Structure formats: structure tokens, C-alpha cells
Amino acid sequence: MPEQLSRKQLINIATDFGTPVYIYHAEKIAEQYHKLKHAFKKCDSRFFYACKSLTNINILKWMKQIGTSLDCVSINEVMLGLKAGFEPQEILFTPNCVDFEEIEAGKNLGVIVNIDNISILEQFGNRYGNSYPVCIRLNPHIMAGGNYKISTGHVDSKFGISIHQLRHIERLVKSTNLNVTGLHMHTGSEIKDVNVFLQGLEVMFEIARHFDNLEFIDLGSGFKVPYQEGDTETDVNQLGEKVAEAFEEFEKETGKNLQIWFEPGKYLVSEAGYFVVKANVVKQTTATVFAGVNSGFNHLIRPMFYDSFHRIENISNPKGAERIYTVVGNICETDTFAWDRKLNEVREGDFLVFYNAGAYGFEMSSNFNSRLKPAEVLVKGGEAKLIRSRDVFEDLLRNQIEVL
């Protein structure tokens, strides 16, 4: 089992490559994948890494090496996946509100196409009939997930075709002769309760009875990982057991032998990622002590966008007296990473690490305030390699056209 990266390793990388820096631990990613495989060993399962969480080409190549398939939400992610060496049929294309051309582009590249609205489904059926299989993304109307913003299965959600439109789907399938090989749902992120998945699965089974050519049911993701001490994670072993039973039961009843697919993002890469920053300024005000670091929501937006909690540690002064800090960035906007956090005394120049930074960290970064995006480093076999250079000033002007 891979240990966490040590303080010393993190400090060495921060010293060698500079800060802010994202660091990913390849073996930890593999460990997470194997945990899932093991949990679902009784099922005929496939796991599609939801690469929107982290798309560095080396991460994609590593996923291919360890054996995952790939879930892509844009045609560019599809093309990155192909470039990384995935076969088209190892790529599931699940875009939302894209135009028909983008769906066609996916089809022309030979990937598995997942359609999430009636309009596109109809166009696809009219154009291709049963000559190219499709998966249909459904909205099961289950409210779940850590946060409304990351919950996608509720009534107001823009995702998927409502299960209440089943009649409409059936009419379309019949009239255009569509070959529906899969049903998909993804209700949100950070679902602790395995019953939510099982409830979703029951809904999918009901719908599955209406389709003759079905080969798989895709339950999306929502696997939660621990973010803080005492935090729980989705009990994948229990889920695996229950899902296996449910599929067996379903097969007995209907004679249909279906695969189960999942699309983990966070589960595979969150804990494998570390974000190391430097404390620029320690600022005492009347109300609090701020630790101002050389980063902001331009690099890690989850705490501000989703109110997510990231464990922070002062790796430069692990024995320092504990004090309470509000950790903020250097952006001209309120960008508080953490309120009232107990840290070992922070001195200017110390390195602080944010844990659980693999998923939706670098991937959601921007150049806000004309600041540079951080570097990315991959640790594999104990060796640290730069896998993305830090932005340089010229990157800010790239694509700009001076007309004045």
C-alpha cells in the first residue's frame, strides 16, 4: 500500500520546482482503482475515469496503464484521451448541452456516445437509426450529493432526460429505430449513503425493462473520499456486494445480463493530489491572524466555490506551537481557503500543503489577476517529474491580438 507522500518529499519538490505546485502520487491513484475493482469483483464492471477532474496527459496515460476506461464531457477531452492511447471504445462521451456537431464528432471518432436530451436523441436517431449504438442519460430525480452545486439528479437539474419522459424516449427509439445499449445516471458528487446508489439502480432496472438491446447500466459517480479527520468515505465494498446481488436478482427476473459501469473522478485522484504553497505574509488584525499565501482561488477554487474543506498543514514547521489562522490567498477578491484553522506556527516563507488537491484543483485554475498557473509534478516510483511547466508571463498574452 503506498504511503502518503512524506513532508520531506513535498518540501524537496517545492524547493526544486518552486511554489505554488500541484503534486500527484501515481501509486495512490492505482491503489484507489484497485480498491474499486476489488469491491466490485463479483460484478461484470467497468470503470471510466471522469477525466474532467484532472486531465494532465500523464495522468491519462497512467490511467490507461493501470486499466481504467475514460469518461469525457467534451470533445477535447475525447481527443486528449485518444492521444493518451485509449481505444475509442474505451471512451465514454457524456457531454451536456453541446450542439449536434459535437455529438457527431464523437461518433465519428468511434467513442461510446451518451445522449442527455430528447432533441439530440431525435436528431441522432433520424441521422443514424440503428447504425450506431447510444447510451441514454436519465435523470432519476434523486437528490443527493455533498452540495447543491454538485448535485445533478434533482428535479431542477439540467442533466439527463427525466425518467417521466420514458414514453417520449420509447416513441423516439421506435420511430427512428435507435439502438440503445446503455442507460446512464449520475446524481452528484460525494454520496456517502450506498442506499442512494441502490435506489438509483432500482429506478434504472425499472427503465431497463423497456429496452431490448441493453448491455450496461452506468451509475455515474458520486463516490466520496475523506477530506478531514474522522470523515467517512463511500463504503464501496458494501456497495459492491449489494450491486452484485441486485444484478443477479435482475438477471433471474428478466434474463438480462448487464454490465455495471461507474465514472469515478474524485475517488481516483483526490487523495493522490497535494497542493503546496508558500506563506507570503502573516498578518495580525484585531480579529484574526491571516496567513496569506502565494496562491488563491485562481489555483484552487473548491473552498470558495463549493465550501469544500481541505486539510492544511505547515510542513516547514511541523513542531511549531499550534495557533489559529485564517488562510487566505493573494487575489484581489475575498479568497479564503480556510477560517480559524489550527496550524503549527506559520512563519513567512513556510510551505503549506493542501490535501485532497488532485481532483478539480489544477483543472479549475485560471489566470485571474493575471497570475500564472502553477506547475504540476508527478511522483512515481519515488521519483518526482515535472509534468507541466509553470506559466510564464508570455502565456498571459498568448492568443491576444494587439490592434491598438
Q: Which residue numbers are catalytic?
A: 332
Q: Which residues bind ligand PLP (CB under 6 A)?
A: 50, 52-53, 71, 73, 94, 186, 189, 220-223, 263-267, 359
Least distance from ligand PLP to the Cβ atom of residue 128, Å: 22
Letter string b/e over residues 161-172, b meaning 16 or more CB atoms within 10 A of that residue's CB:
bebebeeebeeb
DSSP class per residue in 240-267: HHHHHHHHHHHHHHH----EEEE--SHH
Cα–Cα separations (whole angstroms), residue 271 to 116, 218, 236, 309, 314: 30, 24, 16, 13, 18
Least distance from ligand PLP to the Cβ atom of residue 47, Å: 11
> Residue 138 in contact with residue 152, Cβ under 8 Å?
no
User: Phi and psi (nearest 5°) for 157?
Assistant: -70, 145
Least distance from ligand PLP to the Cβ atom of residue 216, Å: 14
Residue 327: enclosing H or E segment and its boundaries? strand 322-328
Least distance from ligand PLP to the Cβ atom of residue 190, Å: 7
User: Phi and psi (nearest 5°) for 74?
Assistant: -145, 160
> Residue 51 in contact with residue 70, Cβ under 8 Å?
yes
| CA distance from start to end of the chain | 58
When the beta carbons of 138 and 172 are compared against ligand PLP, the nearer one is 138
